Amino acid sequence: MKKFLTSSTLSALFRWLLGSIFIYAGVFKIADPWSFSDAIYNYRILPDFLIDIFALWIPWLEILSGLALIIGKWIKGGTFILLMLIIVFIIALGAALFRGIDISCGCFGLDESRKIIDWSTIAKDFGLLLMCLQVLFFDQSKYALIKIRKEKSVRP
């Protein structure tokens, strides 16, 4: 069991999963930065002048980090950024729930924007957090796109 949890194959699976989830989330937010800006505003954590900057910045952080995980370049950096983002999301969600603010998550832009947050949203984030930690500690960049390409080019 321990061997399975610390295996680089599992890391590779988590990398592809995390990468796709965050690219998907990022693309939706870029398509509609206004909804995301509103979502950030609703959490009532950031000062007003930072809200729009974060609304433009966070989606690209998600996409570039997601790409890093899948492509296999800057995996550690990308995973670390995702880890930080997830921690921030958990704190923001937790604070909102604790203060009893009924807001939508804003996690995946338009589609989910009408869903009201609850503790299961945080549970999902903890799942992502654990995946990030596993990747951060045990990843060997297995099945990364650049590795696959290199192997192909070496063979002939």
**Which residues bind to another protein, rule: CB under 8 A?**
6, 8, 30, 33-34, 37, 49, 52-53, 55-57, 59-61, 63-65, 68, 74, 76-78, 80-81, 136-138, 140
Query: What does the block give as tokens for 54?
Result: 């974060």
CB of 99 to another protein, least distance (A): 25
Q: What φ, ψ does residue 155 adopt, rounded to 5°?
A: -55, -50
Sign of CA dihedral 24, 26, 30, 36: positive
37 or 121, CB closer to another protein? 37
> Could you give the angle at the alpha carbon of 31 between the alpha carbons of 25 and 34, nearest 5°?
100
Give the number of other CB atoms < 10 A from CB of residue 8: 15
57 or 119, CB closer to another protein? 57
121 or 134, CB closer to another protein? 134
CB of 4 to another protein, least distance (A): 12
